[in-house]
Structure 1
Amino acid sequence: MKNIYKSFSLKKLPVCAALLTMLSVGCTKNFDEWNTNPHQATEDMLQRDNLAAGSFFVQMQKNVFPIAQQPDFGDEVYQTMQNLAGDVYSGYMGASNNWYSGSNNTTYDLIPQWYGQAFNRAFVGIMPAWNAIKKTAQAETPQVYAMATIVKVEALHRTTDMYGPLPYVNFGNGALQNKYDSQRDIYYKFFDELNEAITILTEFNTKNPGATALAKYDFIYNGNIRNWIKFANSLKLRLAMRIVYADANKAKLEAESAVNHSIGVFTAAGDIAALQHTADLSYNHPLYIINTNFDDIRMGANMQSFLSGYSDPRLPRYFNMASDGTYRGIRNGINITNKATYAEGPYSELNVSATAPIVWMNPAEVYFLRAEGALRGWSMGSDAKTLYETGISTSFAVSGVAGSAATYINNSTSVPTAYIDPANSGNNIAALTSVTIQWNAASTFDINLERIITQKWIAMFPDGQEAWSEFRRTGYPKVFPVVLNNSKGLISTDKQIRRIPFPATEYQTNSAGISGGVSLLGGADNGNTNLWWDKK
């Protein structure tokens, strides 16, 4: 982070109250400041042609993963809501900085200003924009409304998977918008919304084959309707699997519906959903800034353990060699007394360019979701082994190492390695698993599930938020626990962090709503309470 984060204590700063007024208004001052640029319409232009829906659609895309609207601003929001949460909790990355003398999110001393960011982005950058599109497009151009709804679900499922209950179900319906809904009700609403969007877009595509929608404003698929349908089905499959331990029948129903739809889910490397760079959308990938400019993040120890142990050809695609010619990660939750030890030491930087697209979902993940469904006996279009192996080969294709897939898939001996920290032997730890790569039908359900989730975890990099959710859901892959736990007993080191607390400003400005939210959570508002779907 820039020096602004070092010059004063964010723990003592309240979040701007204006951010929380989003629960009762459509657009706020901050909303305009954060999201207006020369390529977007201003308020007095919003009634011309598709400008109203188009400009808000752009704003939604920019806030799923926050990107900089002012120099470095979006990168710091990304850092606090994504990088210093899911990216580190999933084991993907290790922090190389020692904010607040090492007592911060990485060591479970959760910082309110940091963990409030995801909530603010969802209810300032996403929900009001979707509501505006709903009002202007739902009746006249339902295909536009459907696309916006898919983006909303993609963004808000990430938010509920961080906090749990949210004020979501009745947002935009004229009802009281600060009333919290249970996560079960939110997920059921997600499925209703995705099913409606899929139906609208399928009908539109049937009646208007080859027609596009909002192509000028769509930085994901350039208005390609079939691709949006595939993405919606793939997202539905992800969410269905997420709830399998909490609501198995609903999970199976929605998963099979997604896979067996006439257009179906992602199957090819080119189906990937990612925020592209175009003449009308220029941004630096936030991880490039955090890794290269801030020097705040490096390869995670878990990534070193799995990728090195498996001799994985994706390793140099994901990370750069350290200064000593090795690939080495940083374990999370360690005591860093001097940033230079890890930021300047022999630890691998991320191999990410400024112009890399931000990936929302890739087709390899979808094959692994289908593989898990097939392992459970669901109708997924093929058997678990074939889908698992296709997931690996698809990930290799996406990563540009397709020629190595067959050898990797048939590797039955390699296992993850121990982690050794050259700066502090107290951080050393043996591998927590001996799971191998090659599929073995004779293995138990749990061992084959571990195989699927481990390979999915590798393939989804660098989306640590989704990887953290899958770790919480399944227990896989086996992520190293923190060394230093500064939660004062609130979070179990062995269990590991399960969620982040509700924003501090909700307690200040929405006491009735947050009281209901905590009640629906079913436990204390801290990082040790399991979410509704976290039942295994």
Structure 2
Amino acid sequence: MNIMRNYHKHYTVVQASFAFLLCVATLASCTKKYEEYNTNPYLATLEQQLADGFLVGRNFPDMVNAVMPAGDPAGQTNFINSYQLAYSLAADCYAGYMGQANNWNGNTNNLTYGFNLGWVNEQFRLTGVLMAGWTRIKQATDLSGDSLQFSVAQIIKITGMLRVTDSYGPLPYSQIPTGTFTPAFDSQESIYRTSIAELGRAADILHELGANAGTPLAAYDQIYVGNYVLWAKYANSLKLRLAMRMAYVDPANAQRFAEEAVSHPAGLLMTITDAAL
């Protein structure tokens, strides 16, 4: 019996040792090519995405088309339909730019103040696209330190968010970047003031650094083909527009902000060649 117990004890030790060696061998074989096994050969690597400024630049067309859905290179109707839902069947008609020629949903729709949530939500869907692009640019430029590219993203973001707050009032503007599912809503006054400050900083950076920075965004910038100087002018002109809209509710600050925009060394959009098209 002692012989059998010693045999079993020895066998168990050998078995455990073998199992341990097998685990070590298995782990070694798994980790030897871990990076290769866990890299998708059909996706661009981070290094490849950095080439030609693609990692940041690819987000600008999405942001611009979220502000103003204006053209589909493939000839499809997606952008046209999006603009119609977000703007034509809402503010454009309220402002008298257009008039409806149909009685959608039994004449219960946005134009008779029987709001169609599918139509209303289109602008917020566009806002999601806008802010997703802005967030990716912010993350990338936080690492690279490229304040010029981030400043352009700021201006596009503000352009789009102002359209939303002018349509619907309070928005969770300051907390959208946090990713919270229960954001607090900012008043329109707060959004205007924050936007004015952000436009001022963007104009300063673009004016001070943009002239000698080249046009790294040329392939991605649908508005100014990467011209930072023109973006500075646009920022000042947008700031002036906001100041004018504040004139009846806060005349003193409206005048101050307007004078800051007009006197900024980068200037305003003054000629046809300056137009943001």
Length-normalised TM-score, structure 2: 0.77
Structure 1 residue 245, shift from structure 2 partner: 1.8
- The answer as to whether partners of 2:175 and 2:183 remain within 8 angstroms in 1 is no
Match of 1:155 in 2: 160
Match of 1:38 in 2: none
- The answer as to whether partners of 2:53 and 2:216 remain within 8 angstroms in 1 is no
Which whole-Å CA distance do the structure 2 matches of 1:168 and 1:177 have between them? Answer: 12
- When structure 1 is superposed on structure 2, of 59-68 and 167-176 the one drifting more is 167-176
Match of 2:246 among 243, 246, 263: 243
Structure 1 residue 169, shift from structure 2 partner: 1.3
Match of 2:3 in 1: none
Match of 1:140 in 2: 145
- The answer as to whether partners of 1:198 and 1:229 remain within 8 angstroms in 2 is yes
Matched, 1:129 2:133: yes
Cα distance change of structure 1 residues 111 and 271 upon mapping to structure 2, 3 Å threshold = same
Cα distance change of structure 1 residues 172 and 249 upon mapping to structure 2, 3 Å threshold = same
Match of 1:268 among 254, 268, 271: 271
- The answer as to whether partners of 1:61 and 1:151 remain within 8 angstroms in 2 is yes
Structure 1 residue 102, shift from structure 2 partner: 2.2
Which whole-Å CA distance do the structure 2 matches of 1:65 and 1:201 have between them? Answer: 23
Which whole-Å CA distance do the structure 2 matches of 1:231 and 1:175 have between them? Answer: 31
Structure 1 residue 78, shift from structure 2 partner: 0.9
Match of 1:116 in 2: 121
Structure 1 residue 80, shift from structure 2 partner: 1.1
Which whole-Å CA distance do the structure 2 matches of 1:87 and 1:42 have between them? Answer: 41
Cα distance change of structure 1 residues 228 and 177 upon mapping to structure 2, 3 Å threshold = farther
Cα distance change of structure 1 residues 213 and 195 upon mapping to structure 2, 3 Å threshold = farther
- The answer as to whether partners of 1:146 and 1:197 remain within 8 angstroms in 2 is yes
Bigger radius of gyration among the two: 2
Which whole-Å CA distance do the structure 1 matches of 2:116 and 2:60 have between them? Answer: 31
Task: Report the residue type matching 1:184 in the other structure.
Answer: E
How many aligned residue pairs are there? 231
Match of 1:90 in 2: 95
- Percent identity between the two aligned chains: 38
Matched, 1:258 2:261: yes
Structure 1 residue 47, shift from structure 2 partner: 3.9
SS at match of 2:115: coil
Matched, 1:218 2:221: yes
Length-normalised TM-score, structure 1: 0.41
Which whole-Å CA distance do the structure 2 matches of 1:196 and 1:273 have between them? Answer: 20
- The answer as to whether partners of 1:167 and 1:177 remain within 8 angstroms in 2 is no
Structure 1 residue 176, shift from structure 2 partner: 6.7
Structure 1 residue 234, shift from structure 2 partner: 0.4
Task: Report the residue type matching 2:265 in the other structure.
Answer: S
Superposition RMSD on alpha carbons, in Å? 2.2
Match of 2:196 in 1: 191
Task: Report the residue type matching 2:193 in the other structure.
Answer: Y
1:488-513 per-residue CA deviation (whole Å, 9 max, x = no partner) reads: xxxxxxxxxxxxxxxxxxxxxxxxxx
Structure 1 residue 178, shift from structure 2 partner: 2.3
- The answer as to whether partners of 2:56 and 2:136 remain within 8 angstroms in 1 is yes
Match of 2:237 in 1: 234
1:457-512 per-residue CA deviation (whole Å, 9 max, x = no partner) reads: xxxxxxxxxxxxxxxxxxxxxxxxxxxxxxxxxxxxxxxxxxxxxxxxxxxxxxxx
Structure 1 residue 258, shift from structure 2 partner: 0.6
Match of 1:412 in 2: none
Task: Report the residue type matching 1:136 in the other structure.
Answer: A
Which whole-Å CA distance do the structure 2 matches of 1:161 and 1:248 have between them? Answer: 19
SS at match of 1:172: helix
Structure 1 residue 172, shift from structure 2 partner: 2.4
- The answer as to whether partners of 2:158 and 2:195 remain within 8 angstroms in 1 is yes
Match of 1:521 in 2: none
Which whole-Å CA distance do the structure 1 matches of 2:205 and 2:276 have between them? Answer: 20
Match of 2:23 in 1: none
1:56-113 per-residue CA deviation (whole Å, 9 max, x = no partner) reads: 1121011111246673122222111100111111111111122112222222222111
Match of 1:104 in 2: 109
Match of 2:5 in 1: none
SS at match of 1:116: helix
What does 1:296-335 align with in structure 2 at a 5 Å threshold?
A: none
Cα distance change of structure 1 residues 174 and 102 upon mapping to structure 2, 3 Å threshold = closer
Q: Which has the higher contact order (CA 8 A, sep 6+)?
A: 1
Q: Which runs of 5+ in 2 are unaligned?
A: 1-42
- The answer as to whether partners of 1:63 and 1:121 remain within 8 angstroms in 2 is yes
Match of 2:79 among 66, 69, 74: 74
Cα distance change of structure 1 residues 193 and 176 upon mapping to structure 2, 3 Å threshold = farther
4+ long deviations beyond 6 Å: 41-44, 174-177
Task: Report the residue type matching 2:272 in the other structure.
Answer: A
Match of 2:67 among 64, 70, 75: 64
SS at match of 2:99: strand
Cα distance change of structure 1 residues 78 and 42 upon mapping to structure 2, 3 Å threshold = farther
1:99-152 per-residue CA deviation (whole Å, 9 max, x = no partner) reads: 112222222222111112112211x21011101111111452110000111111
